[in-house]
């Protein structure tokens, strides 16, 4: 299943899929098109979720291995998605229903809020263990959202955070039981409906301008 778009009232629900939800070029195209639709149809918030034991496993390493000559272009596309979500002119929440690894965890970090299962699933930046340093843009994204303590704990160790652990570090905002993650994320956004999108977008650009510049400088 590819990414699909639905609505819960005025809140757009973007489902990333039912497998590992890796960021193939086709996946990125689909998600970007759905984000365009969310804005065109006047939604009041955006939740991303999944129908899988994975929220997202991040980069499509198979595609990248087969198209190594396009690596810079590909990383630029992925970082472009991060920058777009980071400054999206609506309230956003990631419903981390399963594992979020690497770039999948970075996508979740780019949202305003995160809700995670309290009993299963890991939030992890494994880069130190797979010997792939963060790009300057990816590091700037994570450090724009996490405390220095949480950034060190997550970026330099490869640690797998369960939901309760992730909440203790401020990596996620709330945890809940199986089957309730998406609704909890949606309910986080309902009180924020009606914010002026132009104003909210400008505030996020001001807050995260340095990270956006780094993400767009790949």
Q: What is the signed CA dihedral for 171, 145, 4, 184, rounded to 10 degrees? A: 50
Distance CA 90, CA 207 (A): 15
Q: What is the pLDDT of residue 218?
A: 67
Whether residue 64 contacts residue 32, with contact meaning beta carbons closer than 8 Å, is answered with no
| Residue (of 88, 78, 83, 108) closest to 37 by Cα position | 88
Mean of the per-residue pLDDT values of the chain? 97
Q: How many CB atoms lie within 10 A of CB 169?
A: 17
Domain holding 86: CATH number? Answer: 3.90.226.10
Q: What percent of the chain has pLDDT over 90?
A: 99
Number of domains in the chain: 1
Structure tokens given for 122: 């890991």
CA distances from 154 to 17, 118, 150, 158, 218 (A): 26, 18, 6, 6, 23
pTM to 2 decimal places = 0.98
Structure tokens given for 99: 């594992």
Residue 95 gets the label, from left (phi > 0), alpha (psi -120 to 50) or beta, of: beta
Residue 154 per-residue DSSP state: H
CA distances from 131 to 35, 57, 120 (A): 32, 17, 26
Residue 203 has pLDDT above 80, yes or no: yes
Domain residues for 132? 4-216
pLDDT in tens, 51-74: 999 999 999 999 999 999 999 999
pLDDT in tens, 101-157: 999 999 999 999 999 999 999 999 999 999 999 999 999 999 999 999 999 999 999
How would residue 1 be classed by pLDDT, with cut points 50, 70 and 90? confident
Mean pLDDT in residue range 44-52: 97
């Amino acid at each position: 299943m590819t990414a699909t778009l639905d609505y819960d009232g005025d809140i757009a629900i973007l489902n990333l899929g039912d497998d590992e939800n890796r960021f193939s070029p086709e996946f990125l195209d689909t998600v970007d098109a759905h984000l365009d639709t969310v804005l065109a149809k006047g939604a009041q918030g955006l939740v991303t979720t999944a129908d899988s034991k994975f929220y997202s496993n991040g980069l499509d390493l198979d595609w990248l291995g087969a198209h190594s000559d396009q690596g810079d272009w590909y990383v630029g596309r992925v970082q472009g998605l991060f920058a777009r979500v980071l400054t999206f002119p609506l309230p956003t929440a990631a419903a981390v229903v399963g594992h979020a690894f690497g770039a999948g965890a970075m996508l979740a970090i780019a949202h305003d809020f995160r809700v995670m299962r309290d009993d299963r699933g890991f939030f992890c930046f494994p880069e130190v263990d797979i010997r792939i340093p963060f790009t300057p843009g990816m590091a700037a994204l994570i450090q724009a959202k996490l405390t220095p303590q949480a950034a060190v704990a997550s970026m330099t160790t490869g640690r797998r955070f369960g939901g309760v652990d992730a909440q203790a570090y401020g990596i996620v905002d709330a945890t809940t039981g199986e089957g309730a993650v998406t609704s909890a994320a949606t309910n986080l956004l309902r009180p924020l409906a009606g914010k002026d999108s132009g104003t909210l977008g400008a505030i996020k650009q001001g807050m995260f301008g340095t990270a956006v510049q780094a993400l767009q400088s790949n």
